[in-house]
């Protein structure tokens, strides 16, 4: 009986460590057309605030119990990336990031990339994290890379233009993202 109980405990502890694929975002499969995405978002109670050729913007979206601005990005009318911008309250950026990261760990396990770097004169745990973030003296981020190479990235950024700290969360389908990047690079070289 003890062997069976130990077996189930090991399975429960290691279950999140088994590989999974990231095939979409918030019930929207990667590759979905823009019109279908608009319909799905409308069913969730959100209408687009901006409808561009390659993207849709939704403001005041409640995602994972947090309010954000959400951008859904398309290439050749195929959904391939979701980008969320969260605006934490003053002096709460790092804690907001850590809480969101913890929720992602609960769902997807630990990130494959996890970095927290500070530029002099700041250092981790020096009590000046929020100041370092506001001055762009940090590089804090995590990334989950799935078996199908799709990714989730979470990072902290200071927006100099708006003078505000932001927590950014991206879900993206790598194959289409790479195709888009290659097309952009080719277009840029054509200009030369």
Residues of the chain with pLDDT > 90, as a percent, come to 72
DSSP 8-class letter at 88? P
CB 73 within 8 A of CB 80: yes
CB 158 within 8 A of CB 166: yes
Sign of CA dihedral 94, 112, 75, 56: negative
What is the tally of structural domains in the chain?
1
C-alpha neighbours within 13 Å on the C-beta side of residue 74: 21
Higher pLDDT, residue 24 or 190: 24
In the predicted structure, residue 188 carries a pLDDT above the cut 90? no
DSSP 8-class letter at 92? -
Total residue length of the chain:
192
Range of the domain at 180: 2-191
- Which region, left, alpha or beta, applies to residue 126 given φ > 0 means left and ψ of -120 to 50 means alpha? alpha
Task: Calculate mean pLDDT across residues 24-50.
Answer: 95
In the predicted structure, residue 71 carries a pLDDT above the cut 90? yes
CB 66 within 8 A of CB 100: yes
* pLDDT tens profile 161-186: 988 999 999 999 998 877 777 777 77
* Cis? peptide before 129, omega within 30° of 0: no
* pLDDT tens profile 82-108: 999 999 988 999 999 999 999 999 999
Q: Please provide the average confidence, as pLDDT, over all residues in the chain.
A: 88
* pLDDT tens profile 140-158: 999 999 999 999 999 999 9
Give the pair of three-digit tokens for residue 10: 């090991």
Task: Calculate mean pLDDT across residues 129-146.
Answer: 96
Residue 19 pLDDT class (50, 70, 90 cuts): low
Residue 59 pLDDT class (50, 70, 90 cuts): very high
Q: SS3 for 23?
A: coil
């Amino acid at each position: 009986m003890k062997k069976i109980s130990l077996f189930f405990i090991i399975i429960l502890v290691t279950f999140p460590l088994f590989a999974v694929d990231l095939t979409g975002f918030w019930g929207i499969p990667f590759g979905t057309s823009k019109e279908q995405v608009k319909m799905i978002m409308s069913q969730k109670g959100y209408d687009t605030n901006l409808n561009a050729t390659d993207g849709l913007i939704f403001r005041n979206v409640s995602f994972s119990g947090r309010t954000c601005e959400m951008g859904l990005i398309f290439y050749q009318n195929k959904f391939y990336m979701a980008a969320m911008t969260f605006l934490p309250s003053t002096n709460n950026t790092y804690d907001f990031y850590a809480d969101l990261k913890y929720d992602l760990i609960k769902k997807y396990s630990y990130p494959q990339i996890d970095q927290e770097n500070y530029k002099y004169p700041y250092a981790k745990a020096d009590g000046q994290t929020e100041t370092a973030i506001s001055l762009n003296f940090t590089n804090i981020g995590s990334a989950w890379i799935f078996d199908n190479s799709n990714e989730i990235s979470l990072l902290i950024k200071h927006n100099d233009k708006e003078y505000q700290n932001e927590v950014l969360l991206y879900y993206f389908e790598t194959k289409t993202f790479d195709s888009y990047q290659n097309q952009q690079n080719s277009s840029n070289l054509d200009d030369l």
